[in-house]
A and B are shown apart, each in its own frame.
Chain A
Amino acid sequence: MRGGQVAARAPVIQFTNCRILRGGALLREDLWVRGGRILDPEKLFFEERRVADEQRDCGGCILAPGFIDVQINGGFGVDFSQASEDVGSGVALVARRILSHGVTSFCPTLVTSPLEVYHKVLPQIPVKSGGPHGAGVLGVHLEGPFISREKRGAHPEAHLRSFEADAFQDMLATYGGLDNVRIVTLAPELGHSHEVIRELTALGICVSLGHSVADLGTAEEAVQSGATFITHLFNAMLPFHHRDPGIVGLLTSDRLPAGRRIFYGMIADGIHTNPAALRIAHRAHPKGLVLVTDAVPALGLGNGRHTLGQQEVEVDGLTAYVAGTNTLSGSIAPMDTCVRHFLQATGCSVESALEAASLHPAQLLGLEKCKGTLDFGADADFVVLDDSLHVRATYISVGLCSALTTCLWWG
């Protein structure tokens, strides 16, 4: 479908009057697209001797790579952790609705659930390319059940697990297989976790540390075994202590394998993390920051009661709690709101804020050649933003389908 010959006949579209995020800077350049990929116009000019078939004026807007959300539990009433006969429809609904938030790729996330849920749901969420129908599914993020009891947060205690002796097999049996899985969040202090981390890493699955009481030493060993991500930094882990920084200390650890970068998710909804803490993390390790929504099914719905996993949550404005408690139960801030809040809270550059939602998650998943970037050859998934970073339009797989452009305007 994306073969060279088909692409060469596809129309060339030139997006003009815009600033594009490329190489860490906002450049006053046109963006050229053909056959679902970003095109090198100089090569087109000198080698193929062609010009654009269509030009689109972007009204001076910013063009950024489509946002990538690696932690989203559902939305618009859909709960990915609910076993239903038609999980696919729910995923498709969320995939379509998050396009208006600028998200063009995501990892549907399952919280701690009983075996039956994993066995039923996982096979129904295959990896899928995005398009006008919705954002692309990069793979599932399994957050739990191998996490700390003490730091379970909103996860149901009844379904927490620790590893049995044959840990990896135990995990396989729990999930019913690892097809479609992209990220696993676990607590490294659990016995036998290292062999699991190594096996998952060998399979190309990203291991994330979270919902854990691990100290820094344990966390560092987990990274040495292959872990590359921290699930929602600061939340559901030991607080930073000056004699044992815990998992937070990974941001400035000098015991990470050479050349390895640790990434960390941040929920920048203005509620889960105090702006001062956000700034400390950002300043300590700006290149590892990955914006995530950790959105719950209540995203996009109004105030009231909704389900998350096996529990009930209460939504009040921008906050969602486990019903009847003070425990935060995920965020309902859309990704573009998180990007704006992150920009405002840290005072970072627009480029940094945009990279935190696009380039960094792509790098985390090893996809930076085709996602999270507007470099030549990358997938043509991008978002049109005004100067205050509100989403004006989302383009996904531009020029791949028979329609000349696949664009959704939000006005």
Chain B
Amino acid sequence: MRLVILDNYDLASEWAAKYICNRIIQFRPGQDRYFTLGLPTGSTPLGCYKKLIEYHKNGDLSFKYVKTFNMDEYVGLPRNHPESYHSYMWNNFFKHIDIDPNNAHILDGNATDLQAECDAFEKKIKEAGGIDLFVGGIGPDGHIAFNEPGSSLVSRTRLKTLAMDTILANAKYFDGDLSKVPTMALTVGVGTVMDAREVMILITGAHKAFALYKAIEEGVNHMWTVSAFQQHPRTIFVCDEDATLELRVKTVKYFKGHQRD
């Protein structure tokens, strides 16, 4: 893996955004050649999205020939609910860029047949030629997307019940009322993300430090599902100083050494 350590959240967001931007531009997307991007939600990637929007508004980056696949969506939450991931993506990204709405794929948490919806999503990814770059985050419990501790490391897109940790963490977005927080979600599997040609995981903040330690300095373990990416040929972890607080000094120095070159 690559571990890229930036001084703070803003610099980490900018680094990640520049990387994505460069990947898209170098790919030279066009009418018969779309760049496929996997996308996360949550507070961590907000800075990255802002930067990507800035590059777009500067005229440096177009999403006209980019297809996106989001990682997850709550089950049972109306699409236009302010906390749905559809709303998140519209407000924080899609409405500011030039992506074709037909190319922005998000799981439908209100589908009548949820498993069929998941299977169709996997099929769409396949039909798009697979994911070129999957961007993700990490939960405090080391989960990627909604692959909670105990999820199979070869799992595919499916319905998941959310862990109590996740529900508690989300309560602040639902007026602190636990009864209002969705308890289930549709999510891409660990295996689904592992299929991507390249993976970039964004991790910022001290509260994610222990999860990062478990993910890269301990073994591959389904209790910390991000650890699966130790076995992916091309993964980058982008983090800020605070997220490295639980790592060995040796690890940090080694990867910071790379950056100096």
On chain A, the residues within 8 Å of B101 by CB distance are 44-46, 48-51
Interface size on B, residues (CB 8 A): 13
The verdict on A43 contacting B80 (CB below 8 Å), with A49-B101, A51-B101 known, is yes
On chain A, the residues within 8 Å of B102 by CB distance are 49
Checking A30, A40, A46, A48 against B86 with a beta-carbon cut-off of 8 angstroms, the contacting residue is A46
Q: What is the CB-to-nearest-CB distance from A15 to chain B, in angstroms, rounded to a whole number?
A: 13
On chain A, the residues within 8 Å of B106 by CB distance are 46
Q: Report the Cα distance A46→B106, complex, angstroms.
A: 9
Across the interface, do A46 and B95 meet the contact criterion of CB distance under 8 Å? no
A41 at the interface (CB under 8 A from B): yes
Q: Which residue of B lies closest to A32 (CB)?
A: B95
Interface size on A, residues (CB 8 A): 12
Q: Which residue of B lies closest to A29 (CB)?
A: B95
Q: What is the CB-to-nearest-CB distance from A30 to chain B, in angstroms, rounded to a whole number?
A: 8
On chain B, the residues within 8 Å of A45 by CB distance are 90, 94-95, 101, 104
B87 at the interface (CB under 8 A from A): yes
B100 at the interface (CB under 8 A from A): yes
CB < 8 Å A-B pair total? 28
Which secondary structure dominates where chain A touches chain B? Answer: helix
Q: What is the CB-to-nearest-CB distance from A53 to chain B, in angstroms, rounded to a whole number?
A: 14
Across the interface, do A46 and B100 meet the contact criterion of CB distance under 8 Å? no
Q: Report the Cα distance A46→B79, complex, angstroms.
A: 9
Q: What is the CB-to-nearest-CB distance from B195 to chain A, in angstroms, rounded to a whole number?
A: 26
Q: Which residue of B lies closest to A50 (CB)?
A: B101
On chain B, the residues within 8 Å of A44 by CB distance are 101
Q: Report the Cα distance A48→B104, complex, angstroms.
A: 12
Q: What is the CB-to-nearest-CB distance from B194 to chain A, in angstroms, rounded to a whole number?
A: 28
On chain A, the residues within 8 Å of B104 by CB distance are 45
Q: What is the CB-to-nearest-CB distance from A59 to chain B, in angstroms, rounded to a whole number?
A: 16
Q: Which residue of A lies closest to B103 (CB)?
A: A49
A312 at the interface (CB under 8 A from B): no
Q: Report the Cα distance A40→B90, complex, angstroms.
A: 12
On chain A, the residues within 8 Å of B90 by CB distance are 41-42, 45-46
Q: Report the Cα distance A48→B79, complex, angstroms.
A: 14
On chain B, the residues within 8 Å of A42 by CB distance are 80, 86-87, 90-91, 95
On chain A, the residues within 8 Å of B95 by CB distance are 30, 41-42, 45
On chain A, the residues within 8 Å of B87 by CB distance are 42
Q: Report the Cα distance A41→B106, complex, angstroms.
A: 17
On chain B, the residues within 8 Å of A43 by CB distance are 80
The verdict on A51 contacting B100 (CB below 8 Å), with A42-B95, A45-B90, A46-B86 known, is yes
Q: Which residue of B lies closest to A376 (CB)?
A: B80
Q: Report the Cα distance A43→B80, complex, angstroms.
A: 8
On chain B, the residues within 8 Å of A49 by CB distance are 101-102
Q: Report the Cα distance A151→B95, complex, angstroms.
A: 56
Within 8 A of A (CB), among B122-142: none
Q: Mark B63-104, 1 if CB is under 8 A from A, else 0.
A: 000000000000000011000001100110011000011101
Of listed A41, A45, A51, residue having the most chain B CB within 10 A: A45
A-B contact pairs, 25 of them (CB 8 A): A30-B95, A40-B80, A41-B90, A41-B95, A42-B80, A42-B86, A42-B87, A42-B90, A42-B91, A42-B95, A43-B80, A44-B101, A45-B90, A45-B94, A45-B104, A46-B79, A46-B86, A46-B90, A46-B101, A46-B106, A48-B101, A49-B101, A49-B102, A51-B100, A51-B101
Known pairs A42-B86, A45-B94, A48-B101 / 8 extra A-B pairs, C-beta < 8 Å:
A30-B95, A42-B95, A44-B101, A46-B79, A46-B86, A46-B106, A49-B101, A49-B102
Give B contacts to A, CB under 8 Å. 79-80, 86-87, 90-91, 94-95, 100-102, 104, 106
